[in-house]
Amino acid sequence: MQKLQEAGIYLLRLFFFGKKGLDNLLSLIFYRLRVNSKAVLTLTIKLLVMAQESPYVFQSGPYKDLSVEQVFLLDPIHLAWLYQNFFKNKRLIKSPNQLQLAIESLLEKIHGIDTTKDCPYCRQAKVVNFLLPDFGPVTNGLLCCDNPVCREELKSVRAGELHTISDFLLLVSYMPKPQAQKIVGIFKATHKKYKEAFA
């Protein structure tokens, strides 16, 4: 069984990191077929299916065995922190390219999630921005759509900077946790069906 696991891990590494890519993978499959192990073949097929769905699964740390999307649902701030640290300290992560790609594809997915809250100013469009105040706490009442008139109205309420709500993961890693949690809360409150995007 240990040999099977080793073969599986080797296959995954080969698939993601192997210089010759798929050719190597296929030759390994045919080699394993020659040694005639049905279990290895089954494992190979399972791994291929997994690789096609291409989830990045954490191999260590507090969220070992969970995918990037699962960690996003459980603890988006952790993911944001990890992404920031990927750029700051590459030694933290064994396979940075793969994780970076997985997080970037997640960020893209987040941008595609429908907003469920109307702009409080024009009441015609959905909210896009939130105001990060220069002083004091963030609140989920400081929102507007992308219309310049609505943006100006929101800016006149309090001194601060407007940010795109769906960019929240890029912002929260720099913030104290209570503020980061509030911003995550803004995303959740304005994208109520976000969990469905990861179902």
Binding site for Zn ion (CB under 5 A): 119, 121-122, 125, 145, 147, 150
- Cβ 121 to Zn ion, closest distance in Å? 5
Residue type for position 40 = V
Between 145 and 172, name the residue whose CB sits nearer to Zn ion: 145
Tell me the CA distances in angstroms from 57 to 53, 70, 171, one per residue in order: 11, 9, 24
Contact predicate 28/41, CB 8 Å: no
- Cβ 156 to Zn ion, closest distance in Å? 14
- Cβ 144 to Zn ion, closest distance in Å? 5
- Cβ 163 to Zn ion, closest distance in Å? 16
The DSSP secondary-structure symbol of 137 reads -
End-to-end CA distance of the chain: 32
Between 84 and 147, name the residue whose CB sits nearer to Zn ion: 147
Between 51 and 125, name the residue whose CB sits nearer to Zn ion: 125
Between 98 and 147, name the residue whose CB sits nearer to Zn ion: 147
- Cβ 114 to Zn ion, closest distance in Å? 16
**Strand order across the beta sheet in which 160-164 lies:** 143-144, 129-133, 160-164
- Cβ 125 to Zn ion, closest distance in Å? 5
Between 113 and 128, name the residue whose CB sits nearer to Zn ion: 128
Distance CA(80)–CA(130), nearest Å, equals 18
Distance CA(118)–CA(126), nearest Å, equals 4
Between 28 and 119, name the residue whose CB sits nearer to Zn ion: 119
* Cβ contacts of 128 within 8 Å, gap of 6 or more: 115, 144, 145, 146, 164, 165
Contact predicate 33/16, CB 8 Å: no
